[in-house]
Structure 1
Amino acid sequence: MTSGEFENRNAARWAEYERLVDAMERGQEIGGVERLPQRFRELCLDHSLVQARMYGIRLGERLNALVIRGYKLIYRSRRHGWESVVRMAAVTFPATVRKEWRLFWLCSAVFWIPFLLLVWVAKHDLTWIQSILGSQGMAQMEEMYGGDSPLAKGRPGMGSDFMMFCFYIQHNIGIDFSIFAGGILAGLGTLFYLFFNGLHIGAAAGYCNAVCNPQAFWSFVAGHSSFELTGMVISGMAGMRMGLAILWPGRLPRVRALVEATKKAMPLIYGAAVMTACAAVLEGFWSAQPLTWLPGSAYAWKYSVGAVLWLLHIVYFLFAGRRAGDAA
Structure 2
Amino acid sequence: MKVKDFEQKHIQKWNHYEATVAALEKGQKNVADVEEVPKMLRERCNELALARHRMYSVPMCEYLNQQVIRGHKLTVRNSGGFTEKILRFFAVGFPQSIRNEWKLFVLCWLVFLIPLFGMWASIHYDIDWVRSILGSSGMESMDEMYGKDARPLSEGRGETGADFLMFSHYVNNNIGIDFQIVAGGVLAGVGSLFILLMNGLGIGGAMAYVMEYGDPVRFFSFVSGHAPYELTGMVVAGMAGMRIGLGILNPGRMTRGRALLESGKKGLPLVYGAFALTFLAACVEGFWSAGPASSTIKYWVGFAGWAALAYYFIFAGRGKRAA
Specify if TM > 0.5: yes
Q: Deviation string for 1:82-138 (max 9, x for gaps)? A: 332232222221222122111111111111111111111123321111111111111
Code of the aligned partner of 2:295: Y
2:21 is matched with 21
Q: 1:242 aligns with which of 244, 247, 259?
A: 244
Code of the aligned partner of 1:41: C
Distance in 2 (alpha carbons) for counterparts of 1:153 and 1:141? 17
**Contact 2:48–2:61 (CA under 8 A) maintained in structure 1:** no
**Contact 2:163–2:286 (CA under 8 A) maintained in structure 1:** yes
Structure 2 unaligned spans of 5+: none
1:324 is matched with 320
Deviation at 1:166, TM superposition (A): 0.5
Distance in 2 (alpha carbons) for counterparts of 1:214 and 1:61? 74
**Contact 1:97–1:317 (CA under 8 A) maintained in structure 2:** yes
Q: Which moved more, 1:254-263 or 1:19-28?
A: 19-28
Indicate the SS of the match to 1:232. helix
Distance in 1 (alpha carbons) for counterparts of 2:14 and 2:103? 47
Deviation at 1:300, TM superposition (A): 1.0
In structure 2, relative to structure 1, the CA distance for the partners of 1:23 and 1:159 (3 Å cut) is closer
Distance in 1 (alpha carbons) for counterparts of 2:114 and 2:160? 31
Distance in 2 (alpha carbons) for counterparts of 1:125 and 1:153? 34
Q: Determine if the alignment matches structure 1 residue 115 to structure 2 residue 111.
A: no
Indicate the SS of the match to 1:273. helix
For 1:86-105, what aligned pairs fall within 5 Å after superposition?
86-105=87-106
Q: Determine if the alignment matches structure 1 residue 143 to structure 2 residue 147.
A: no
Q: Determine if the alignment matches structure 1 residue 191 to structure 2 residue 207.
A: no
Q: Deviation string for 1:12-44 (max 9, x for gaps)? A: 979756555333211347999576313442477
Deviation at 1:299, TM superposition (A): 1.1
Q: 1:202 aligns with which of 201, 204, 227?
A: 204
For 1:40-119, what aligned pairs fall within 5 Å after superposition?
40-42=44-46, 45=49, 67-119=68-120
Structure 1 unaligned spans of 5+: 292-297
Q: Deviation string for 1:238-262 (max 9, x for gaps)? A: 1101100100111222222222222
For 1:236-315, what aligned pairs fall within 5 Å after superposition?
236-291=238-293, 298-315=294-311
**Contact 2:38–2:75 (CA under 8 A) maintained in structure 1:** no
In structure 2, relative to structure 1, the CA distance for the partners of 1:279 and 1:35 (3 Å cut) is closer
In structure 2, relative to structure 1, the CA distance for the partners of 1:175 and 1:47 (3 Å cut) is farther
1:212 is matched with 214
- Structure 2 length-normalised TM: 0.82
Q: Deviation string for 1:256-279 (max 9, x for gaps)? A: 222222222122111111111110
Q: How many residues align?
A: 310
Give me the identity figure in percent: 47
Indicate the SS of the match to 1:267. helix
Q: 2:162 aligns with which of 160, 163, 166?
A: 160
Distance in 1 (alpha carbons) for counterparts of 2:77 and 2:124? 58
2:42 is matched with 38
**Contact 2:181–2:191 (CA under 8 A) maintained in structure 1:** yes
Distance in 1 (alpha carbons) for counterparts of 2:79 and 2:20? 20
2:234 is matched with 232
Deviation at 1:67, TM superposition (A): 4.7
Indicate the SS of the match to 1:286. helix
Q: Determine if the alignment matches structure 1 residue 223 to structure 2 residue 247.
A: no
**Contact 1:224–1:306 (CA under 8 A) maintained in structure 2:** yes
- Structure 1 length-normalised TM: 0.81
Code of the aligned partner of 1:73: L
Deviation at 1:65, TM superposition (A): 6.6
**Contact 1:176–1:232 (CA under 8 A) maintained in structure 2:** yes
In structure 2, relative to structure 1, the CA distance for the partners of 1:47 and 1:248 (3 Å cut) is same
2:132 is matched with 131
In structure 2, relative to structure 1, the CA distance for the partners of 1:226 and 1:211 (3 Å cut) is same
Deviation at 1:146, TM superposition (A): 1.0
Distance in 2 (alpha carbons) for counterparts of 1:22 and 1:127? 73
